[in-house]
Amino acid sequence: MTGKLVIVAGPSGSGKTTIVRHLLGVYPRLAFSISAASRKKREGEVDGEDYYFLSVEKFKEKIEKGDFLEWEEVYPGSYYGTMRTEVERLWNAGRDVIFDIDVKGAMNLKKHYPEQAITIFIQPPSLETLAQRLQKRKTETPEFFAQRIQKAAEEISYSSKFDKLIQNSDLEKAFKEAEGVVGEFLKVEK
């Protein structure tokens, strides 16, 4: 059984996770694709809910076995990937799948499923705003913070490759816009 893929990407701090959560609340047929990740679990995160947390060794083993639909070393030493079994599990349950992944992963998934997928890029108002949001979030050490800002600039340069761009300067507006785009794609009412 297959279904649709709603692939959401955008820089860390763009609000994409908040928008994905909102969409999950609005469209019950959507289910979140839980990625595998080799980074450390943050406070409050739950293994098997936010991510399947794996060691780097285990992650590499899975790469070798061909378990991933796509994977990226998103930050040096931190691997993230979408497992085939995860997407199959959700499709078999009759759901469409929503992804919160990086820009390269988004492009790769779309290549696998060109007909069934929509890619949505969440655009932050500016790099300055992004930096302020990340600073407020305080989840990163200074070193990781710098990495995330650099990565954000790189990610923004990919935005033109996406099917839809959503500007997130006002979260309520971004919610409405995302609801419209996804509702149209899934062809369902809220």
Choose one: 100-108, 120-128, 165-173, 178-186; the region binding ligand 5GP (CB under 6 A).
100-108
| Cα 149 to Cα 137, 139, 177, distances in angstroms | 14, 13, 26
What strands, in cross-sheet order, belong to the sheet with 5-9? 30-32, 96-100, 5-9, 117-123, 164-167
**Does the footprint of ligand 5GP cover residue 123 (CB under 6 A)?**
no
Among positions 19, 30, 82, 120, the unique one binding ligand 5GP when judged by CB under 6 A: 82
**3-state percent breakdown (helix, strand, coil) of the chain, nearest 5:** 45, 25, 30
> Of these, 26, 53, 60, 72, which contacts ligand 5GP (CB under 6 A)?
72
Distance, CA of 93 to CA of 37 (rounded, Å)? 23
Per CB under 6 A, which region of 55-63, 77-85, 115-123, 173-181 contacts ligand 5GP?
A: 77-85
* Single residue of 80, 121, 162, 175 touching ligand 5GP by CB under 6 A: 80
Smaller CB distance to ligand 5GP: residue 45 or 179? 45
Nearest to 140 by CA among 126, 122, 152, 158: 152
Residues 6 or more apart in contact with residue 187 via CB below 8 angstroms: none
Site string for ligand 5GP, 127-166 (x = CB under 6 A): ----------------------------------------
User: Residues 16 to 35: which contact ligand 5GP by CB under 6 A?
Assistant: 35
Binding of residue 101 to ligand 5GP (CB under 6 A)? yes
166 vs 159: CA distance, rounded Å: 10
Which C-beta is closer to ligand 5GP: that of 105 or that of 124? 105
Task: Give the Cα separation of 168 and 18 in Å (integer).
Answer: 11
Q: Decide: residue 69, CB within 10 A, 0-12 exposed, 13-18 middle, 19+ buried.
A: buried
- For the bound state, the minimum distance from the C-beta of residue 122 to ligand 5GP, rounded and expressed in Å, comes to 10
Catalog residues that contact ligand 5GP under the rule CB under 6 A: 12, 35, 39, 70, 72, 74, 80-82, 100-102, 105
